[in-house]
Amino acid sequence: MSAQHHPHGTVPNPVIPGLHPDPSVCRVGEDYYLACSSFEYFPGIPVFHSRDLVHWTQIGNVLDRPELHLPLEVPSSAGIYAPTLRHHDGRFHLVVTNVGAGGNVLFTATDPAGPWSDPLPLPDVPGIDPDLAWDEDGTCWITVAGVSQQPVDLATGRSLGPSRPLWSGTVDAQAPEAPHLYRIGEWWYLLIAEGGTERGHSVAIARGRTPSGPFEPCPHNPVLTHRGTHRPIQNTGHADLVQAPDGSWCLVLLGVRPGGGTPGWHVLGRETFLAPVTWEDGWPVVGGLTPELPAPAWPLHPVPEAPVRDDFDGAGLHPRWLSVRRRPAELVTTGERPGWLTLHAAGASLDAPDAVFVGRRQQHPFCEVRALVDATAGRGGLAVRLDERHHYEVEAADGEVRVFARIGPLRPEVASVRVPAGPVVLGIDVAPHPPEDSRTAPDLVVLGVEQPDGAFTPLASLDGRYLSTEVAGGFTGRVIGAYAAAGTVHVDWFDYRPRKES
């Protein structure tokens, strides 16, 4: 899903909506490539391509082979954190932290669409949020959250020297992280995030004459933050600088779009936003970060909108489709029943770490999802998932459709209805809250079943705040998809459509 050019000289922000946090970007000629965190989801580390920094197309995932799945013991919101994507000496390099399953590792590729190499462990590099930068001598410096740095041999993964602390941001600011190091002109710039990844998130920068400093902070830090404001984009941080072919600069960064009343709930996860950058007295000045940005001066290259419907007619799944931790071929296939997605259950519900689930990120504040589900040989349906303890589902089995709501320790059956035997169209609408709920719920999640005449029958309308990061915690956002909880479930088609506010 990508932004499209608006007719009045603006482009919409975020440029990659939905659960696409911690963006890292590099330019090769006139092409831009971007990678994001994926946490417990597999395939992992989505990779995007753009010709203009505004319109993006997903071209693959770095972790896309079954042997690269995450162990079942990796909890939700652990797993794959904060990649840095760079191009050097004709190869793409991506360094990332696998939290709970291996620490920092390096991948390389000649084509960012893949295939990517097997992971090279970096056993001497502690911490999270690793960055890559090469000096004039060809030495590679890896800088991590904290902020500390060491030279590393990328052929072996071993350190070439001790780790040493660098500038760690504003005095007393929490969580100095997401470092990125750049050579720009005669200076080395160290860009970091600080203030925590919640409402206090911010971007700060320092500069020095060598990649190891010493660094002097920008006198106007933070160069970007929305803390303490009513702006619609919040939690702004974890940024990466990139230069356009015309010499201008931009910042890609994460942010959220909270809704509802106090404290505000964000449900889509942390998304990828774009902000213009100018330079004054050798320091970057970040322009306005708004939901509508002035169109950039360089040519725009709109791309086709991502399809809203998947009929599962291909040999495999599009890279946008996600599973939880793993996707065994014997449990998830499009080849067993041609034209259908077949799911064989493992875990008994979405509460289980081995739940068989195939979904896509919710990328719009409001949307409609429909799917034709055949659960005559099993039990399953559609779900909106945040983690194992926070999900809503509409489930078919034995001629009955039921709605469940998992909220923390509770998992009540909310509603049920008898349906004719055979495949049934299940639906989920994410809709605006009623006006009388404007100070509370960010949205409503409506779950139901479609009648033979096409009319949608809601079975339950559930408060959306319980599927938000502010309630559930963690670092992810909603993913909507199909699952199997018992036996075999087939899905003929899956349709996701954005919905207007009214």
Alpha carbon 374 to chain centroid distance? 30
Has 271 been annotated as catalytic?
no
DSSP state of 469: H
DSSP state of 116: P
Spell out where 77-233 has E strands.
79-88, 91-99, 103-109, 120-121, 131-134, 140-144, 148-151, 164-165, 177-184, 187-194, 202-208, 216-217, 224-225
Identify the CA nearest to 375 among candidates 490, 291, 261: 490
For the sheet containing 140-144, what is the strand order? 131-134, 140-144, 148-151, 164-165
- Tokens representing residue 283 in the block: 């320091």
Tokens 């702006």 -> residue:
231
- Tokens representing residue 273 in the block: 């936003």
Residues composing the chain? 502
Q: One of 22, 40, 271, 443 is an active-site residue; which one? A: 22
Is residue 276 within 8 A of residue 265, CB to CB? The reply is no
CA dist., res. 286 & res. 385, Å (int) = 35
Count of beta carbons in the 10 Å neighbourhood of residue 279: 12
Q: One of 129, 177, 393, 395 is an active-site residue; which one? A: 177
Identify the CA nearest to 176 among candidates 223, 129, 210: 129
- Tokens representing residue 94 in the block: 């991506």
CA dist., res. 328 & res. 322, Å (int) = 12
CB within 8 Å of 164: residues ≥ 6 apart: 148, 149, 150, 212
Q: How far apart, in Å, do the first and last CA atoms of the chain sit?
A: 22
Is residue 22 within 8 A of residue 178, CB to CB? The reply is yes
Count of beta carbons in the 10 Å neighbourhood of residue 56: 26
Has 470 been annotated as catalytic?
no
φ/ψ (deg, to 5) at 491? -125, 120
Identify the CA nearest to 482 among candidates 368, 322, 366, 337: 322
Q: Which residues are catalytic?
A: 22, 177
